[in-house]
Structure 1
Amino acid sequence: MRVSTKSDYALRALIEMASGDSDRGPLSAEVLGNDQDIPRGFLLTILGDLRRAGLVQSQRGPAGGWRLAKPADEVSVADVIRAVDGPLVSVYDQRPEAVAYNGNAAPLQRVWISARHALRSVFEHVSIQQLADDDLPDEVTRRTEDEDAWRSH
């Protein structure tokens, strides 16, 4: 899987919204962009995608900006990726279960479905709040303790 710049920026913006003082109100795209080194124009496009997915709200006016539309502990990494990039795994822009292979290549579909399941086992169980609090689930932490996880193959 390739994590797109769009997904990375979206996650970083949401973590920023969930971090710190919960009474600070909405954050402007300028503040979010500056804090996370995200180009403002690209960030506005991403925030629009997140708003359409119901993950953020915008508020106009001098005290306006962006805020989470629901509690950060109810927003998973998978929710964010799906909002800005679509399905976690796709083959030719189709979901793995919709792809059919002929003859000897038939087992390949099960590989794609297995890969999606593996991604879900992490992405659906890590919330924006856990990221903001640097309190990842034990299963995720254990996976990163394996030296092989850090090696590029």
Structure 2
Amino acid sequence: MHISAKADYATRALLELAREPARPLTCEAIASSQQIPFRFLKSVVGELRRAGLVRSQRGCEGGYWLGRPAGEVTLLDVVRAVDGELITLRGEPLAGLDYPGPAAGLPGVWRQIEADAAAVLDGTTLSALLPAAPAEQLSHKGAA
């Protein structure tokens, strides 16, 4: 399975935005913090904006924010926003894939891999990936 640079960069950018949701971040700040090429990040953030995963404001007080709360954005949302289909075979979706003869069972394996990957990605939100704040870490320790 191939994880694209776009999906990786998009997720890292969204995690930067999720870390401090109250203030906007510029692409320059995100690129610098995550060591992502600025020009590539601008393109990726544009795709995230079109998908509703980020919102933007122009001007000196502008920048980017998450388009939805971090707990509502899954990795599957991110991958589909920047890459489209989760898994393709030679650039084609797996849905209509059909092979003759002894290879007839293979498309089912590819589709199962796609379904399993989608389940993992759909079950992982941005907020689940964020490190816990020190106060939260202390309250969890006390609850144990």
TM-score by length of 1: 0.82
Instruction: Give the alignment partner of residue 132 of structure 1, picking from 123, 130, 133.
Output: 130
Tell me, what secondary structure is at the counterpart of 1:66?
strand
TM-superposed CA distance for 1:33, in Å, is 0.5
* Matched positions, count: 132
Opposite residue 128 of structure 1, the aligned amino acid is L
What percent of counterpart residues are identical?
42
Opposite residue 6 of structure 2, the aligned amino acid is K
Partner of 2:121: 123
Partner of 1:47: 45
Note if 1:67 corresponds to 2:65.
yes
Which runs of structure 2 are paired with 1:97-108 in the superposition (5 Å)? Answer: 97-108=95-106
CA RMSD, Structure 1 to Structure 2 (Å):
1.2
Which runs of structure 2 are paired with 1:70-109 in the superposition (5 Å)? Answer: 70-109=68-107
Stretches of structure 1 that go unaligned for 5 or more consecutive residues are: 135-153
TM-superposed CA distance for 1:94, in Å, is 2.4
Distance in 2 of aligned mates of 1:18 and 1:72: 6
Note if 1:112 corresponds to 2:110.
yes
TM-superposed CA distance for 1:5, in Å, is 1.0
Tell me, what secondary structure is at the counterpart of 1:83?
helix
TM-superposed CA distance for 1:92, in Å, is 2.7
Tell me, what secondary structure is at the counterpart of 1:100?
coil
Tell me, what secondary structure is at the counterpart of 1:58?
strand
Kindly indicate whether the alpha-carbon contact (under 8 Å) linking 1:16 and 1:132 is maintained by their aligned counterparts in 2: no
TM-superposed CA distance for 1:95, in Å, is 2.1
Q: Deviations over 1:98-132 (max 9, x none)?
A: 11111111111101111011101210000011112
TM-superposed CA distance for 1:88, in Å, is 1.0
Q: Which stretches of structure 1, 4 residues or longer, exceed 3 Å deviation after superposition? A: none
TM-superposed CA distance for 1:58, in Å, is 1.1
